[in-house]
Structure 1
Amino acid sequence: MKKWWQKSLMIAVAVLTLGVISPNHLIWETLLDEKALSNSQSSTGNDKQYSFDWIDPSELYYDTHPSILDTVHKAAEEQAYLKFGTKIGPVIQDEFETAILPNIQRAIDLHFAGMDTETLRKLAISEKPSGDYSEKIFHIYDTETSKDAIRFHVRTEKKPLEGFFFNFHYHVAEDNFQKHIALGDIYWSKNTPPKWLS
């Protein structure tokens, strides 16, 4: 009888939530744990009655508030598109979204995921990418000390016989921003690209 209840509950939740809550077996095993059933069970002869305390799964398993890192990811994407401007942005947008942006987000996660929430709340993203042919896309810095923690840049490079590429990379404070950590390249063309922010 327990299996029947478990399957019925799983189907009912899946239908009611339109599949938002997946039938993760850990959830259902917790809800329908043998010990919980035996504690809440009152039996008189062969007549068994079960009572369940309904727990809203969204309270236990989902965090609907955006995390600090998600907010940083969105701000990073906005600053990148601001830097590209209307001439470069539409041309490289698809490749940027598939090849470079995930690497930027991984780099942010790699360097900040281990920090506590209080430290993360002190971080901010610079809001003015540099124009002309300067490299700065954005910097993430500590608002209390105004010191950069990580710098994301893009450099225009001309490779002989190939043309112009945009080289995306970042620098970290740990090595005093000396090392270029590659995020990827996007090919432009053999023609000189326009200035940033144009």
Structure 2
Amino acid sequence: MKKWLQKTLVITVALLTFGLITPNHEIWDALDNGQANNGSANSNIQSNTTNEQVTTVVEDNYAIDQSEEEQNLDSILFAAKEQSYIKFGPRIAPVIGKEFEENIFPKLEEVIAMTLSSLDDESIKYLTITDRPSGQYGEKIFHISDGTNGKDLIRFHVRTEKRPQEGYYYNFHYHTSEDKFVVHHSLGDIFYSKNTPPKWLS
């Protein structure tokens, strides 16, 4: 078979299958060695190629779906951590950052993953996360919302608490749309200091 025709066929197959299926080189070997006239050998090569192609397409589609879900979760978790540190600001973050990473953020990850698992694939595509944590003494860290209607699904907050004889603590918690954002679901507390903490974002 002429090389230009062989290259044209390879390119055509690659374009038609978007690169998911690559031509099996056994076909070219068989054609080059003159085995194309042998019906049984040719049918074996074709059946093997077909089986390999079907398997490849199914595995690739599964991998694509799985990676999209993981990408959605990863991007939301990345934004969640970023918004948390913006909220803390350069004065609070060095004091509570390590404990936040070790004790609070893993629980926050679980809650977000659980929330996403209850949604259908279409809804997950349109999730949004707020990008303006509240400053001063406001509690809001970030909210995760349905991007199609703008309604909040879950709200993550942190409250400053002064405990007599102990000092100041940060109480991390979240609210869900399931209970109309009334109940405080605690993620944990982090001790700050006996001194009054600075304002958020400062």
Question: Under a length normalisation based on structure 2, what TM-score does the superposition of the two structures give?
Answer: 0.67
Specify which of 174, 182, 186 is matched with residue 178 of structure 2.
174
* CA drift at 1:59: 5.5
Change (3 A) 1:111 1:161: same
Q: Percent identity?
A: 51
CA distance in 2, matches of 1:134, 1:111: 24
State TM-score, norm by structure 1: 0.68
- CA displacement, residues 107-165 of structure 1 (integer Å, 9 cap, x when unaligned): 11112213222110111000000000000000001112111110000000001100000
Q: In the alignment, which of 138, 158, 162 is matched to residue 162 of structure 2?
A: 158
Runs (4+) of structure 1 moved beyond 2 Å?
58-67
One of 97, 104, 122 as aligned partner of 2:101: 97
Counterpart check, 1:134 vs 2:138: yes
| Residue ranges of structure 1 left out of the alignment (5+ in a row) | 1-52
Instruction: Return the letter of the residue paired with 1:80.
Output: S
Q: Secondary structure at the match of 1:191?
A: coil
Q: After alignment, is 62-71 or 111-120 more displaced? A: 62-71
1:20-59 matches, cutoff 5 A: none
Q: Deviations over 1:45-66 (max 9, x none)?
A: xxxxxxxx7x99x959966664
Q: Deviations over 1:82-127 (max 9, x none)?
A: 0000000111110000000001110111122132221101110000
Moved more, 165-174 or 110-119: 110-119
Higher helix residue share = 2
Greater Rg by CA: 2
Instruction: Provide the rounded CA distance (Å) in 1 between the counterparts of 2:61 and 2:142.
Output: 36
State how many pairs are aligned: 149
Q: CA RMSD in A?
A: 2.5
